[in-house]
A and B are shown apart, each in its own frame.
Chain A
Amino acid sequence: EPEVTQTPSHQVTQMGQEVILRCVPISNHLYFYWYRQILGQKVEFLVSFYNNEISEKSEIFDDQFSVERPDGSNFTLKIRSTKLEDSAMYFCASSGRRDSANSPLHFGNGTRLTVT
């Protein structure tokens, strides 16, 4: 079964540094998402992306964050200047349709980001 692939599985960075989290969605999917989960808290929506532009973003997704689909396969999340509170598990997801009922999200295994 096709999978969403995320790399790296664990990233450690110093506060103020830029990080790029990478995702390869399922090949025929058109809708892409980033979620994050701070340790002990709920999984939070960050951003959705369709047709090479952001469809929706949450309050968390401020100017420090950006997403990009640089080629036909990768979908990246960039944090420009990391803060301690950015430490979390970041999940990428994709779906074939906008309708969540009939095309549920497929998630990657996540990237654990640790900011020191």
Chain B
Amino acid sequence: AQSVTQLGSHVSVSEGALVLLRCNYSSSVPPYLFWYVQYPNQGLQLLLKYTSAATLVKGINGFEAEFKKSETSFHLTKPSAHMSDAAEYFCAVSDSRDDKIIFGKGTRLHILP
């Protein structure tokens, strides 16, 4: 069975600082991995996805994530945080045999002025 674990339900960073949101996955087959973002009062929006091509994936709003098979990780980073990045971020996994996506518990990102 597939699963993802997000370390830290809340992360606070200062504006301009590096953002690092951690995600580890478990999958018996090569996974597809996703990061979704949820802004207040909005739905889940796809930030980026890994689908077995390049291991470093660039997404919207300056975010990127690196797939590391040896560490079973897919951490999300952004070099410089903006106030507008404050949101909840969800790591998710699926595989080629299935269309449903399995989500992590989410990490709420707080940006400090």
Contact = CB atoms under 8 A, between A and B. Distances in A.
A55 B96 CA distance: 16
A110 B36 CA distance: 14
A75 interface: no
A55 B98 CA distance: 10
B87 interface: no
Interface string B28-58: 0000101010000111111001011000000
B103 to A, nearest CB: 4
A101 B106 contact: no
B43 A101 contact: no
Given A41-B105, A42-B106, A56 B100 contact: yes
Nearest to B34: A104
B24 interface: no
A100 B34 CA distance: 10
Interface stretch (A11-19, A43-51, A65-73, A77-85): A43-51
Nearest to B4: A42
B100 A101 contact: no
A105 interface: yes
A28 interface: no
B51 A107 contact: no
A43 B99 contact: no
Nearest to A33: B100
Interface string A98-116: 1111101101111000000
B67 interface: no
Most buried by A among B45, B90, B100: B100
Contacts of A6: 43
A95 interface: yes
Contact of A98 (B46, B99, B104): B99
Contact of A48 (B34, B45, B51, B99): B99
Nearest 9 interchain pairs by C-beta: A43-B103, A101-B51, A107-B44, A107-B43, A42-B105, A109-B43, A100-B94, A98-B99, A101-B32
